[in-house]
A = this chain, B = another copy of it.
Amino acid sequence: MTETLSIPMNGAESMVRTLLASGVEVCFGNPGTSEMHFVSALDRVEGMRAVLGLFEGVVTGAADGYARMAGKPAATLLHLGPGLANGVANLHNARKAGTPMVNIIGDHATAHQRYDAPLTSDVEAIARPVSHWVARVRGAANAAADVARAVQAARQAPGQIASLILPADSAWDTADGVAPALPVEGPAAVGEGAIGRSVAALRTGGKVAFLLRGAALQGRGLAAAARIAAATGARLVCDTFAPRVERGAGRVVVERLPYRPEPAIAFLQGTETLILVGAQAPIAFFAYPGQPSELTPPGCRPLVLAHPHEDGVAALEALADAVASGPVAAPGPRLYPALERNAAFGAEAVLRTVAHLLPEGAIVSDETISAGFPHYALFDGARPHDWLQLAGGAIGDGMPVATGAAIACPGRKVVNLQADGSAMYTLQSLWTQAREKLDVTTVIFANRAYQVLVEELKGVGAGTAGSKAFSMLDLNNPALDWVQLAGGMGVEAVRVSDSAGFADAFAAAMKRPGPFLIEALI
């Protein structure tokens, strides 16, 4: 500790300084009384960006979006068990995405925990189902070392949720100083045997597909996969809900596995070997009566090249070196979809226009659910961009992820393609976007129903919806007015109901910085 301080450093301040020393630069938070010393410490420490969310689902979802784009964790600041619980759904999503995150969860002062005060709860029990690592600070002298360990745990490959519970007295008592960053080991190397088995599969001449996830869908990993595909004809596939994919003209196309079991199995039919790189063998999102959970078709052998915690990128590069003679030319640029100003208005028209106008380097946060499935390939030829998706199925991450991605990547346009029903879970995100002047354009796909459920009701064999069942799936009574909802949180918005109107609104949004919302009545 070399700083000259006017007051002794308390536990909270030692944590903020240690987070910075460990490379954590953003704290998304929704604090309460028990976190006030941490909030106060943010004032005294230069360099930590503090971002307020008006609901904890925004906080944890934004930390997820930030980390997916920044490649390193943000911290969250949450208020006791209930505040943590409000963030659990998006922690679930982040955990399934392999996102690194450090949660600081305030708790009552140690001496106060024995009483059943109103906000007393079992914080560890709430944290555990969504955390890889859970610990509690026991005394301010340990606070700095504990948070350094939390960052180390979060950065373990492919990325972990680390939850550190901070009793108020450990925040307010005097600390010993700042702890140094702890070493972070990279992902484990893939053994020669696994690489050799994949080489053999590729050389037998049988039909091979790669199921890619994590870093394999970005940069070097994608380039190596492209070389392998060009040399061997292997297909490149990603999960229906991959956390992040680099896409667009100049990049190799990775096909997306269909959502429903039957089309997914048909999609993989004829594949003899399915090489898994950071992915698990494909599993149905939901079970349906009489349908299989496993989507690997009969006769298809799953083969693990790299587990999620392993270095799939290096393994792909080794594989490419083994099967591809020298570098291959990158795929030529493709043309993005034509703009059709007079097309019938609907999800396809919206997505075609977005794909046409999407600026280079954009980040797409996709939570279109049912509306987007059939039109995913439209973006294969768009200008190069990143595509982020709901990895854990807990709806309500599209808006927060967009918010966090915008904080991670100033200068890049973020486009949030957002189903209306899911948007209602974490609509408070718009306020943070307005407050932080984030460059996010939200497109609301206003079908005014949980449309995926209308389809699922039939899919599970539960019959068609009568009036009472339909009332549990329908959002049209009353209709949500997203122009007013956005305006109420300081985000300018327009409503469009035809293709030309959408094209004009979206083109204008791409040219102006700052948050904007377009409600598309599809």
Contacts and interface: CB of A to CB of B under 8 A. Distances in A.
Interface of A: 29, 31-34, 36-37, 39-40, 42-44, 50, 52, 54-55, 57, 81-83, 85-86, 88-89, 92-93, 96, 108-109, 111-112, 115-119, 121-122, 125-126, 128-130, 168-169, 172, 241, 280, 283-287, 289, 293-294, 391-394, 396, 421, 424-425, 427-428, 431, 434-435, 452-453, 456-457, 459-463, 465-469, 471-473, 475, 477-485, 487-490
A108 B40 contact: no
Contact of A54 (B294, B424, B482): B424
Given A32-B453, A108-B287, A287-B111, A81 B86 contact: no
A435 B39 CA distance: 40
Contacts of A108: 286-287
B283 A462 contact: no
Chain copies in complex: 2
A162 B305 CA distance: 45
Contact of A459 (B33, B431, B435, B456): B33
Given A117-B286, A480-B488, A126 B43 contact: no
Nearest to A479: B490
A43 B453 contact: no
A471 B52 CA distance: 7
Contact of A462 (B39, B293, B475): B39
Interchain residue pairs A-B with the least CB separation, the first 8: A478-B490, A82-B394, A43-B466, A484-B488, A485-B488, A112-B287, A85-B88, A109-B287
A490 B477 CA distance: 9
A468 B125 contact: no
A39 B457 CA distance: 9
A86 B460 contact: no
B485 A40 contact: no
Contacts of A50: 468-469, 471-472
B425 A119 contact: no
A460 to B, nearest CB: 5
B86 A425 contact: yes
Contacts of A81: 92, 129
Nearest to A461: B172
Contacts of A391: 118
Contacts of A32: 453, 456
A284 B82 CA distance: 18
A453 B33 contact: yes
A32 to B, nearest CB: 7
B478 A434 contact: yes
Given A89-B86, A431-B480, A392 B40 contact: no
Contact of A89 (B36, B44, B82): B82
B118 A478 contact: no
B168 A460 contact: yes
